Chain A
């Protein structure tokens, strides 16, 4: 996936158990990478999109991802588009989903206090090592070493999409042109895969995304936005730390 995953386990468990949990998490992420990599011709996603595999021959995970991407395409009015580049690339969903699954597996295996950060998209449960809610900083969109918000989250996900890191890599699928108007969009909610997709869609919408994101609060997804000209917006339910 070309990203770095930070795994932070805060449970009072024997070191050997924690090591095993980290290893299992890494094994799962490598499995996901092998299956969904768009860079390896042997991956399932590459074989599916080149027609070497039919949908029936795909794994349940692959079918789930395809279905979820279709659902998100509808839920975001087409602004989250796994086919935006002209060929299937579900990476925008797979990253959040794989971390979501990793977190659920950790919880099932006994780690109920952890924080997984995949390239700035974070899923956390329980408390940090100090027994307090996890504190998540949202990167300042102009100053990499500063934060624009600090959130306190015990259970849930925080995902940020922005134009500042890799330049024009988010496109408005309606116009085919790079997204303009918003510099950074953060979405906070129960599911990282959805939060990540909503953040990407909001960014692609441009300034109209501010109104669209506001409506997501009814579904439990809060947001914080910075425009290209430096205005900042946040929803009333954003779990800002005191």
Chain B
């Protein structure tokens, strides 16, 4: 179990890296979208100034989560953003449409998600479309074979190899 978990992480990391590279044009969207959602939340709170600064989407160095939480604090007044799941505006880039969503519980963002394009050219960046080697159990077999493939053996190690035994049997 432990091993298969590690493999899944490795594969996902690899896929995420590819998404990151190919989707770099859409990176600002991720910071912009919570701001757009925050606009809704603060609109309910009735305080326009923090929402305006937030909607300028130019605080990309902060993580969306912390930025939005601090905005909620600034809005103050006890109300804060309403609970629920909010979706940002879908933004289209050369690879398709990306839409970011956040989930707010108790005035705080508890989850951030995004939908990525699944069609057309974007198929190449969809993790599911990236070919993978499937993980399996390494087994030990001894079967009838004609030849053995292994890392280059020298003439010396050949003498002790399974291939040498096969050759001797066939000779």
Interface hit among A23-31, A42-50, A58-66, A114-122: A114-122
Q: Are B154 and A3 in contact (CB under 8 A)?
A: yes
In the complex, the answer to whether B163 meets A6 with C-beta atoms within 8 Å is yes
Query: Cβ of A150: which chain B residues have Cβ within 8 Å of it?
Result: 141, 143, 145
Any chain B CB within 8 A of the CB of A41? no
A contact residues, range? 35 or more
Least Cβ distance of A102 to chain B in Å? 15
Tell whether B24 is near chain A: CB-to-CB under 8 Å: no
The number of chain B residues with a CB under 8 A from chain A is 42
A223 contacts which chain B residues (CB < 8 A)?
A: 133
Q: Which residue of B lies closest to A161 (CB)?
A: B151
- Against B, the Cβ 8 Å flags (1 = close, 0 = not) of A69-80 are 000000000000
Residues from 121 to 162 in B contacting A, C-beta threshold 8 Å: 130-155, 157-158, 160-162
B153 touches A137 (CB 8 A): no
Return 26 A-B CB contacts under 8 Å, by A number.
A6-B147, A6-B166, A117-B163, A120-B148, A120-B151, A121-B149, A135-B143, A136-B147, A137-B145, A139-B162, A145-B162, A146-B141, A149-B141, A150-B141, A162-B151, A163-B151, A165-B157, A166-B154, A184-B151, A186-B149, A210-B10, A211-B14, A214-B133, A215-B130, A234-B134, A235-B134
- A144 near B161: Cβ-Cβ < 8 Å: yes
What's the count of A-B pairs with C-beta under 8 Å?
Answer: 167
- A140 at interface by CB-CB < 8 Å: yes
List 17 additional A-B contacts (Cβ < 8 Å) besides A121-B149, A122-B149, A233-B135: A3-B152, A120-B151, A135-B144, A135-B146, A137-B141, A139-B150, A140-B138, A148-B141, A150-B145, A166-B154, A186-B149, A210-B14, A214-B130, A230-B3, A231-B3, A232-B136, A234-B136
**Which of B7, B152, B170 is most buried by chain A, counting CB atoms within 10 A of its CB?**
B152
Report the Cα distance A33→B101, complex, angstroms: 64
| Inter-subunit contact B152/A115 (CB<8 Å) | no
Contact of B138 among A8, A145, A162, A230 (CB under 8 A): A230
**Cβ-based interface call for A4 (8 A):** yes
A2 — which chain B residues lie within 8 A by C-beta? 154-155
Q: Please report which residues of chain B, range 70-114, place their CB below 8 angstroms from some CB of chain A when the two chains form the complex.
A: none
Is A226 a contact of B138 with CB atoms below 8 Å? yes
Specify the chain B residue showing the minimal Cβ separation from A6.
B167
- Quick check: is A134 within 8 A (CB to CB) of the other chain? yes
Inter-chain CA distance A189–B45, complex, in Å, is: 64
B150 touches A162 (CB 8 A): yes
Q: How far, in whole Å, are A215 and B14 apart by their CA atoms in the complex?
A: 13
Q: Is there an interface contact between A232 and B135, defined as CB atoms closer than 8 Å? A: yes
Contacts of A210 in B (CB 8 A): 10-11, 14, 133
Give the chain B neighbours of A149 by CB distance below 8 A.
Answer: 141
Min CB distance A215 to B, Å, is 6
Residues in B with CB closer than 8 Å to A117 are 147-149, 163
Contacts of A224 in B (CB 8 A): 133
Do A147 and B140 have beta carbons less than 8 Å apart? yes
Q: Are A160 and B150 in contact (CB under 8 A)?
A: yes
Residues from chain A with a CB closer than 8 A to the CB of B139 are 148
